[in-house]
Structure 1
């Protein structure tokens, strides 16, 4: 971030005119090695377009986009001209803040300056005598207190005070009043009872701007023996406007006003009671800012000029924030609005400004004096297009992608491009729109439940179960209802909130889509399609190759396995849902093949090879004949493998490996055993919890765990304790929003903080075991202390609920755990390596990333070195090691993992017959040689080539 620093101030500069001043500024930048001398041309060109005079004796010269080639390093310098320099023909400047920015970093400086200029600092700028004075006056923030309608939320679905804290913090965070960490500073010991069920709480950590949010639960809560029906959450810092705050307190200590506040549930009315800024009931229009560098000085000046043509007042807000005058350049710049954000303009009724709104919107669309690339509106995929295509440099000639599901397939192309939905954004009938939304959600929930009931594929059921949980998420629905109250139509409210939630889930710092963000958009599109009465996509009657941007779980509902010969997608990785679905259905698939595949002509013949990721458009007849023969050969291999699936996985030289299954539902044990599983290597118990609307009690869990133990008939069961949080939330276990949920509270980090959940689960498992072989493992262990804390809880419970046939271990998913394996191996009974997460954390690549996921290969030497150390540490102390990630079923990985000494491979049960058949053709001694070579390779590609 650009910052104003004392060392960057140059006092006592002299220039007779603007040209000389610009030369002086460039000399300073060149001296500090920020730019080359040619940058002067960029400063001059910018001034010719429009003067960079900001006001109060300050200018902010900066180059044009074309001059960025002369920038060596982003930076800002300040030059003080005590005699002044005429800048725009009439105004003198005494301070120039010259910026060399490679992108839009200058907006940060603008925000700092415009906030300072809310006060009149012109004399202090002119008469400054030291760098310290300059920085002090520019960084001075005016006293403030944000108090407006968008900070109020009613009918909050809260069951306890923690829920209210979360909603209050969300209001403040959405309005950019606080940052991540604020909620942890809310201390219940600081709660103050104002009377009439109204309480307040104040925190001063992680506060960006002073503000007050007000939240009211659907049903009054009990707190310390008192009623709580209204919570005021005060975000305070040294810029808090105490007189304004005291006026608020005077209102709240008035018994009559406090009683009104207690019984009022309309945010607009509450805002009027407390004297907050309200959202004016004025005509409004919306537009998405398309300027690549945001609303900086030049387009903002253009906007001011447009709005000043009308005598009536015109106000603007960004992303439903507070409204400010669109005729004030200083206030517009303080918004810091960036490309892609939504501007809402409102016009004073019964004035010429109402008719002028269309001119304002058109001016913004035209770029406000800049050339812009328009952003599509009312399209569910608009944001995705911008983000994905910008990074996807594939061409029409690309003929390979990521192999996601093995097998050969060919057929006519059925290309489904991202859908677009048109709808009215505004509506005045809140009740009708609310009913429309509820009906659409209920219809989608019903469709999903029907599909779950009909589906026989466990992996797909698990994905859809998670989607049902998302649609039941009270926070998600509450956010949409809040937008409905702002007179948005049901489709607009739904889409905008889902898109915001998905973007936040992906990352708050402009990272691309993560897996759960894709799921949110998937359910978002389903509901939006119902709201917009969008026609269903018609499936061809003959077998075809499905080609899409990505195959979401909702698309699976339309798939007929007998018709879909193969799948080819533009984005995705080998562990993305599209790949999981394809493998579960046994459909050959290639993912991440680039945007060019969407331009394949419909009905053109496409041949795909899911084993190596190659595809051919309009292949020659001989190639298809070869594919037919190869596909038949592979079919015969599977038939033969299935005949012998109950036989052990033993190499030609007598080395045996245990083959187990990964399952998510307790009733999936029978199929796993039928497919040849010798154990369950991973029971994902979070799906047991997701099947309930509240945390299942001990008896419920015990009954479900007994089902699988009965089906296993004495085979070992490895159970992963509850692994939720962050990217896998439970509706009834609220977790504060995290900037990076993959590095947040999940797995053992969550259950150690909610030990009652862990205790109940462990008791249910111990009671259900009846001394049958039970293996319990704790997920996301990153520190030895976490393992020991969890083990203490289990040991305490074992004293009361004895279990003789029990082993206790941990999952190796975090690199720190692998590196600590020599210590941990002395204490645990076994390790189970989750290669999906271990790869993700080792390589710092989100395994659901649509562009980078192909690079997150578990056969990368860095991952193999961690696996090797873990196995050696375990075997030194007589402990066993399993693999329960996607790598366990990868034909290229099997000999390497075996050669490293892994004792168990656990996978989807449908992969078991083929993996067992492969192992029976291997020689263990050769596998050991391959593994040692793999550890010396420099890339995953080199490792994969070892067996060729």
Structure 2
């Protein structure tokens, strides 16, 4: 037969099949072909033919061409777990289609957020004697461009043997999503390794086990009972092997969440606008519009010297303000301010600005010309998260231009109950908003933008990506923002207002209940003791942490005593500070982390030479060991705190057991000198992959292990969290990080040592059940999150957490794990 040319059914990036992140597709168990990573939202027919298969969840379709070739197109990986969400079929089984006819519409944004991958295999799954020849090269392709050629047909059939004994088995299918494409491919590949004729039957209909398409046509779901029939000399062995494969579970993932917060609602009620959830919650308030000022700047300056002076003054003023606000901030706000400070000091931006001024440009024009190409490059790079980081650059552009124009920064006083609407909003705009801000709606942006992160961190309900219709909402309109549902009700009825008020009251009650219960010791629902303690950085934070239910301090950052001064603090000064925190904790345990300085936290009195890569240089406990007087003074100060034993000591950034032994030797010597007979616990922070993977060796000599997930994540993923070009991809729920946490817990348990988490994951309610399931027994969180974390833990069982953690470890990306975690999250979590 004449060859059949298949055209690209999607626009996107052509990818080799072996690069698909799934062994069944990459290993060609379902058939040969190619893959496309889509950028469009519709799947088209690659050739003329008849629809012979359409998965019930509409994520995969099979087309039979004129030469008998059956082509399956599987939209994304693990998309069966979406249960049909995000897919709309335009065809049905039996339809005859022409090349280019639409087959399935799909929500690409939803797939990107929730599926393991969106890359789409296009496979020849049936076709005796037909071979595949790829036409398209790897790279960008448009719909309708030549993709691959199918040649041949009607060749030799697969050799089978129906003579001999016939064996039959009944089997109930326990696979989470039944026999969909991936299990069908594995079953077919195994069946082809036997000479027996093997059939699967469901409800009286049969299909050869060697045919993935025929198996899919049976629509075998979870809980269905099937009959396996094999005839031939090796029929018994064939059935044993197939039953064993199916009963093994075939490493199938669990279902994805049914309704994640960030999904755009399909049916938008009258009078409502739909957006993407950036921070959940309900707010009732009055609309105020934020109008961004894009300042005009003169092309030519008033002389190089004058423009240089103006720029340096504006730059210094903003640098000082960011530093001042960072000191006063905490959590996400502090991290974002620090990131802005790093961007503001970027030598490439400064060099480009000075070069522009030297050419005669005004300072404002030179600064804008330095910023805009960088921002445009981020927006055009194809990475949604990096595109959102472009806003940070534009924010800095506006702030410097404002200072060049003589404008002062400060708080914007919005009336109480303001629902702020904006086409776009910069982090500095959000940070300047006063206490009157009740909710936020943005026409543009995304759920991982810094404004979205700030809104979530401060509990301000927020929607993003609403679109231009937002500008049609009149100033002063009283609205309901239901960010959890992704809706802004612009003309609510009296009944809707009443319902929203009831929902607010319920959320407030949950928060109050969580706070009221926060002062009891934390246990899981099945009685396991989990310590929930606080991360502290200053004595002023201790009392509020206790008021929020902290059972102690799991991480006292001592850097505040050592930074921004010309000389190191004395033993007496340190002792006074540690004692004040211990007193505020009223006998609760206090874990003092030894000085973690160097790298991104330099001190002027420490002679640390410039390093090509400070993150991998002299920092953490290495600094203390390089400056023994500094280390000894800090240990003396800690040992002076009373009562003895309330303070525990923790070493930062341990990578070698020799570091622990060296500090232990100094500690034991000082205890002898000070006649302290009581033991003083000495533990380590697990922040390096080396410490995690050798936790069993370190736990022989460390009294406890506490995982710093922030640094562990950056070292595991080789991404500097201070580098805005890559920091947006950092996520402690990356499977590599979780596997290292699990290894740490196992290593500690081997020597009866407890393992805690003092990094950002301990304050992440989606991460907490996974951490408990991995073996973590102490969570050191930000003080404000403690009531929520304790209420969450009280509703969990360790058995459920362990199952959940095991499923998470099988995921291939942080996004997939977060989707899994949203599905697991209790519905009645405190807001």
The two structures have a TM-score, normalised by structure 1, of: 0.47
- The answer to whether residue 696 in structure 2 is matched with residue 822 in structure 1 is yes
2:458 counterpart (569, 576, 585): 585
Q: Shift of residue 697 of structure 1? A: 4.0
CA offsets, 1:766-824, max 9 Å, x none? 33455241122222333444444554555555554566453222222233321111111
2:530 counterpart (654, 657, 678): 657
CA distance in 1, matches of 2:751, 2:550: 27
CA contact (8 A) 1:436 1:490 kept: no
2:420 counterpart (536, 545, 552): 545
- The answer to whether residue 738 in structure 2 is matched with residue 864 in structure 1 is yes
Partner of 2:510: 637
Partner of 1:891: 765
Gaps of 5+ in 2: 1-12, 15-262, 267-272, 827-831
CA distance in 1, matches of 2:590, 2:355: 47
CA contact (8 A) 1:572 1:849 kept: no
CA distance in 1, matches of 2:672, 2:601: 32
Q: Shift of residue 720 of structure 1? A: 2.5
CA distance in 2, matches of 1:569, 1:852: 26
CA distance in 1, matches of 2:387, 2:627: 26
2:646 counterpart (770, 773, 778): 773
State how many pairs are aligned: 543
After superposition, the Cα gap between the structure-2 partners of 1:946 and 1:907, relative to the gap in structure 1 and judged at 3 Å, is same
- The answer to whether residue 589 in structure 2 is matched with residue 716 in structure 1 is yes
After superposition, the Cα gap between the structure-2 partners of 1:749 and 1:556, relative to the gap in structure 1 and judged at 3 Å, is farther
1:930 counterpart (768, 788, 804): 804
Q: Shift of residue 428 of structure 1? A: 3.9
After superposition, the Cα gap between the structure-2 partners of 1:798 and 1:479, relative to the gap in structure 1 and judged at 3 Å, is farther
Partner of 1:31: none
Partner of 2:471: 601
State the secondary structure of the residue aligned to 1:945.
helix
- The answer to whether residue 692 in structure 2 is matched with residue 692 in structure 1 is no
State the secondary structure of the residue aligned to 2:640.
helix
Q: Shift of residue 651 of structure 1? A: 2.7
CA distance in 2, matches of 1:742, 1:886: 19
Alignment of 1:265-276 (within 5 A): none
Q: Shift of residue 673 of structure 1? A: 0.8
- The answer to whether residue 403 in structure 2 is matched with residue 533 in structure 1 is no
- The answer to whether residue 782 in structure 2 is matched with residue 912 in structure 1 is no
State the secondary structure of the residue aligned to 1:650.
coil
CA distance in 2, matches of 1:479, 1:423: 20
CA distance in 1, matches of 2:510, 2:389: 36
CA distance in 2, matches of 1:729, 1:904: 30
CA offsets, 1:611-652, max 9 Å, x none? 68x455858757776554333211111112222221111233
Q: Shift of residue 897 of structure 1? A: 2.2
CA contact (8 A) 1:480 1:493 kept: no
Alignment of 1:17-166 (within 5 A): none
Q: Shift of residue 582 of structure 1? A: 3.7
Cα RMSD (Å) of the superposition?
5.2
CA contact (8 A) 1:546 1:564 kept: no
State the secondary structure of the residue aligned to 2:562.
helix
CA contact (8 A) 1:871 1:901 kept: yes
State the secondary structure of the residue aligned to 1:656.
coil
Q: Give the structure with the larger helix fraction.
A: 1
State the secondary structure of the residue aligned to 1:891.
coil
State the secondary structure of the residue aligned to 1:919.
helix
CA contact (8 A) 1:680 1:906 kept: yes
- The answer to whether residue 691 in structure 2 is matched with residue 813 in structure 1 is no
After superposition, the Cα gap between the structure-2 partners of 1:481 and 1:395, relative to the gap in structure 1 and judged at 3 Å, is same
Q: Shift of residue 676 of structure 1? A: 0.8
After superposition, the Cα gap between the structure-2 partners of 1:651 and 1:607, relative to the gap in structure 1 and judged at 3 Å, is same
1:560 counterpart (434, 445, 455): 434
Partner of 2:824: 946
After superposition, the Cα gap between the structure-2 partners of 1:407 and 1:844, relative to the gap in structure 1 and judged at 3 Å, is farther
CA distance in 2, matches of 1:916, 1:628: 26
CA distance in 2, matches of 1:692, 1:894: 38
Alignment of 1:734-773 (within 5 A): 742-743=615-616, 745-768=618-641, 771-773=644-646
After superposition, the Cα gap between the structure-2 partners of 1:440 and 1:919, relative to the gap in structure 1 and judged at 3 Å, is closer
State the secondary structure of the residue aligned to 2:588.
coil
After superposition, the Cα gap between the structure-2 partners of 1:534 and 1:465, relative to the gap in structure 1 and judged at 3 Å, is closer
CA contact (8 A) 2:594 2:651 kept: yes
After superposition, the Cα gap between the structure-2 partners of 1:654 and 1:771, relative to the gap in structure 1 and judged at 3 Å, is same
CA distance in 1, matches of 2:368, 2:665: 46
* Structure of higher RCO (CA pairs closer than 8 Å, 6+ residues apart): 2
CA offsets, 1:658-707, max 9 Å, x none? 11111222221011111111111122223343453554444433332222
CA contact (8 A) 2:276 2:447 kept: no
The two structures have a TM-score, normalised by structure 2, of: 0.53
CA distance in 1, matches of 2:467, 2:595: 40
CA contact (8 A) 2:264 2:276 kept: no
After superposition, the Cα gap between the structure-2 partners of 1:731 and 1:492, relative to the gap in structure 1 and judged at 3 Å, is farther
After superposition, the Cα gap between the structure-2 partners of 1:673 and 1:572, relative to the gap in structure 1 and judged at 3 Å, is farther
CA distance in 2, matches of 1:615, 1:846: 36
After superposition, the Cα gap between the structure-2 partners of 1:513 and 1:560, relative to the gap in structure 1 and judged at 3 Å, is same
CA distance in 2, matches of 1:774, 1:926: 34
After superposition, the Cα gap between the structure-2 partners of 1:901 and 1:671, relative to the gap in structure 1 and judged at 3 Å, is same
CA distance in 1, matches of 2:748, 2:615: 27
CA contact (8 A) 1:726 1:745 kept: yes
State the secondary structure of the residue aligned to 2:518.
coil
2:777 counterpart (903, 910, 920): 903
Partner of 1:873: 747
CA contact (8 A) 1:738 1:744 kept: yes
CA contact (8 A) 1:774 1:805 kept: no
- The answer to whether residue 666 in structure 2 is matched with residue 666 in structure 1 is no
Alignment of 1:468-547 (within 5 A): 491=363, 495=367, 526-534=399-407, 540-541=414-415, 543-545=418-420, 547=422
CA distance in 2, matches of 1:477, 1:662: 35
CA distance in 2, matches of 1:483, 1:923: 62
- The answer to whether residue 292 in structure 2 is matched with residue 422 in structure 1 is no
CA distance in 1, matches of 2:450, 2:559: 17
After superposition, the Cα gap between the structure-2 partners of 1:536 and 1:435, relative to the gap in structure 1 and judged at 3 Å, is closer
After superposition, the Cα gap between the structure-2 partners of 1:826 and 1:678, relative to the gap in structure 1 and judged at 3 Å, is same
CA offsets, 1:917-943, max 9 Å, x none? 222333344333433444444540234
State the secondary structure of the residue aligned to 2:283.
strand
CA distance in 2, matches of 1:573, 1:846: 22
CA distance in 2, matches of 1:551, 1:795: 52
